[in-house]
Amino acid sequence: MKNTNGNTEQYRQWAPYVLIAALLLLTYLTFQYSAPPEPSYEIPYSQFKDLANKGRVESLQLQGDVASGTLKSTEALGPHGEIAQRFSTRLPAFGDESLLPLIESQAIELKVSGEAGKSGPLAILLSLLPWLFLLLFFFWVFQRTSRALGGRLGGPEELKKFLEAPAQNAEQPEVTFADVAGQENAKREVTELVEFLKQPENFHKLGAEIPHGVLLMGAPGTGKTLLARALAGEAGVPFFSISGSQFIEVFVGVGAARVRNLFDAAKKNAPSIVFVDELDSIGRTRGTGLGGGHDEREQTLNQILAEMDGFSGHEAVIVLAATNRPDVLDPALLRPGRFDRHVVLDLPDRKDRVAILKVHTRKMPLGERVDLDRIAAGSPGFSGADIKNLANEAAILAARKKRSEVLMQDFEEARDKVLLGTVRTLAIQPEEHHRLAVHEAGHTLVAWFLPNADPLYKVTIIPRGRALGGTQQLPEEERHTLSEEYLRDRLVVILGGRSAEKELLKTLSSGAEDDIHQATTLSRAMVARWGMSEEIGPVDLRESEEHPFLGREIAQPRHYSEHSAEVVDHAVQTLLQEAEERALAVIREHPDALTRLISALEEQETLHREQIEQCLGAAPRNRTLPSASN
């Protein structure tokens, strides 16, 4: 199989050269045979007769109705009086009975059949040769094209080869989890898959079903591709990968066929991993129809879904997909049995950045004063890819300066380069770092001291998703209805970040935009839907309604008076202002605790519950807290 393929491949490689050589030879031959050794002119029959009568013709050659010959000496034969010895002439259609006697009387040498090469079977072959080659050439081009286009005329292997081409064939990655620094959560989640890939029988025997679809979500450069490859490397199974963006340029139907082939190959080589990178580029919500012409994408997506649905539960094939836009994915992709297991990769915090730096400086000779911890401290918001980039830049700078070691100053210079140079990176500028810490500390402090707010379990100034920083609260229990006290405290927590900025920095930033939006939406719902305002009472004054099928708010004609609208606006404002005042009051009440929290955040970037407690003291309430494992 491999061998025959190799031969066709060789034949295809050589074919054009052979063809060119043949054509050159042919041109040469044609030239050799048809080019007259001396110039020859066609002359009128009357002129020929005249020359023959004067005894000047040496020899004559008859070929059909053409006579060509040589004179005994040169004459002016050309139309412009050119001198030549050879001529040709056309015999009259009605024949000329006096020609033969003339030839005899003048003793002209007569050849009737001419030179053997000129009119024999070889001549016929030679005249046909160009056509033969042309035909062969067309046939060859046609075959190639038809193969490339789906091969109804080419063999099935040809088609397969074309479809598989961009999908790398099975690969056996060398990387392992040791090459993925940090990302402990994500690694823990995929570790159990390693066991399964190594010994699928053990799981099947017990009837355990292993998830087939795992979606890796995270900002660009957080190591999604790396983790997928490391999983294959760790388990020692083949890795079949394909990238969503490859499907956009190919013709309709090819994407689906490629997916089918990829899955077939993966099943044949099970246990194995299929990796679909950039899933969002094909997996966007279908039927949005903007721009039209998403046929190819849709077909490809449908094929992926069909393949995943087609698993009987026994194939030891795990499908990993990566995306940095989980929000735009088609919900069909996330249904049970598809990509129902989600693994989030966060941007690294300071500790993880040190670990990533260690991985990427492993092979570099480092100067004595190089302090990886300080480099990590100076690169908040850098992704794993940014850090790799930074280490590489530093080594390049050192090499350019012809040093034998990479020094601290190289890292510093490289950091500025990465920080300024890349637009897409989420890296945080130094002055922003402090503001973020103040903002997040504000949320945290307020949540800590308010009686009805959700308890805190983590706060970070590392960007997550769209929001910079984040304060994560964990609801104590599943809440189905929300009490007014809880909601009022929630408003205070939401505005706590902005209030801290206002109080400590005396200026505001655009960073609180999301908070303000969230607070406004919440307070409007409290006033207009839940009747939580004295001024208005229990009246439904919603401006919009949730569409039962679209699941979205759509604008509705208003069912209430201008006056009511004003009252709602006023009540919302009052709620928000009250909330802000309460936030400011909490902040002013605990200035030292807040300062401690801010510097701890600036220092460590991510604080877990115990660390928060160290800064703020025990929470003022006795709450049952979830074990702070996160």
Residues binding Zn ion (CB under 5 A): 497, 515
Q: Which two tokens stand for residue 368?
A: 């004595």
Minimum Å distance from CB 348 to ligand ADP?
6
Least distance (Å) from Zn ion to the CB of residue 442?
A: 8
Question: Which residue from 147, 212, 224, 439 is in contact with ligand ADP, where contact means CB under 6 A?
Answer: 224
- Where b means 16+ CB within 10 Å and e means fewer, 14-53 reads eeeeeeeeeeeeeeeeeeeeeeeeeebbebeeeebbebbe
226 binds, among ligand ADP, Mg ion, Zn ion, none (CB under 5 to 8 A by kind): ligand ADP
Span 129-188, contacts to Mg ion by CB under 5 A = none
Nearest to 308 by CA among 295, 321, 296: 321
What residues between 338 and 357 interact with ligand ADP by CB under 6 A?
A: 356
Q: Name the binder of 180 from ligand ADP, Zn ion, Mg ion, none, CB < 5-8 A by kind.
A: ligand ADP
With CB under 5 to 8 Å by kind, the binding choice for 385 among ligand ADP, Zn ion, Mg ion, none is ligand ADP
Burial class (CB in 10 A: 0-12, 13-18, 19+), 336: exposed
By CB under 6 A, what part of segment 355-384 binds ligand ADP? 356, 359, 384
H helices of 165-294, in order, are 184-198, 200-205, 224-235, 254-268, 280-283
440 a catalytic residue: yes
Q: Which is nearer to ligand ADP, 181 or 210 (CB)?
A: 181
Q: How far is CA 498 from the centre of its chain?
A: 38
Residue with smaller CB distance to ligand ADP, 393 or 501 = 393
Identify the residue whose tokens are 């048809």: 34
Among 200, 221, 233, 283, binds ligand ADP (CB under 6 A): 221
CA end-to-end span of the chain, whole Å? Answer: 54
Q: How many residues bind ligand ADP (CB under 6 A)?
A: 18
Question: Least distance (Å) from ligand ADP to the CB of residue 342?
Answer: 15
Q: Which one of 159, 167, 197, 226 is in contact with ligand ADP (CB under 6 A)?
A: 226
Report the residue number, 160 or 325, with the smaller CB distance to ligand ADP.
Answer: 325
Q: How far is the CB of 404 from ligand ADP (least distance, A)?
A: 24
- Asked whether position 497 contacts ligand ADP by CB under 6 A, the answer is no
Which CB, 47 or 518, lies closer to Zn ion? 518
Q: Which stretch binds Mg ion (CB under 5 A): 177-185, 219-227, 312-320, 521-529?
A: 219-227
Amino acid at the residue 265 = A
Read off the tokens for 432: 């922003």
Please select the residue that binds ligand ADP; options are 6, 44, 220, 451, rule is CB under 6 A: 220
> From the CB of 515, what's the least distance to ligand ADP, in Å?
28
DSSP 177: G
Residue 451's alpha-carbon distances to 244, 447, 588, in angstroms, are: 48, 8, 17
Indicate which of Zn ion, ligand ADP, Mg ion, none lies near residue 456 (CB less than 5 to 8 Å, by partner kind): none
385 touches ligand ADP by CB under 6 A: yes
User: For residue 164, what are its two tokens?
Assistant: 């598989």
Out of 278, 296, 440, 501, the active site residue is: 440
Asked if 182 interacts with ligand ADP (CB under 6 A), we say yes
Residues 221-240 that bind Mg ion (CB under 5 A): 225
Q: Which residue in 126, 180, 318, 587 binds ligand ADP (CB under 6 A)?
A: 180
Q: How far apart are CA 43 and CA 30, in angstroms?
A: 25
CB of 605 to Zn ion, least distance (A): 16
Distance of closest approach, residue 283 Cβ to ligand ADP, in angstroms: 16
The residue with tokens 């929630």 is: 490
DSSP secondary structure string for all residues of 545-594: EE-TTT-SEEE----S-HHHHHHHHHHHHHHHHHHHHHHHHHHHH-HHHH
241 near Mg ion (CB under 5 A): no
Of residues 375, 378, 386, the one with CA closest to residue 426: 386
Residue 68's beta-bridge partner residues? Answer: 61, 88
Per CB under 6 A, 255 contacts ligand ADP: no
Of 68, 89, 222, 241, the one binding ligand ADP by CB under 6 A: 222
User: In degrees rounded to 5, what are phi and psi of residue 211?
Assistant: -60, 135
Helix (H) or strand (E) run with residue 108 in it: none
Closest by CA position to 537, among listed 546, 550, 528: 528
- The dihedral region occupied by 445, where left means phi > 0, alpha psi between -120 and 50, and beta the remainder, is alpha
Q: From ligand ADP, Mg ion, Zn ion, none, which one binds at residue 515 (CB under 5 to 8 Å depending on kind)?
A: Zn ion
Nearer to ligand ADP, 324 or 471 (CB): 324
183: nearest Cα among 134, 121, 226, 133 = 226
Q: Which residues are catalytic?
A: 440
Q: Report the interface residues with ligand ADP, using CB under 6 A.
A: 180-183, 218, 220-226, 322, 356, 359, 384-385, 388
Contact footprint for Mg ion (CB under 5 A)? 225
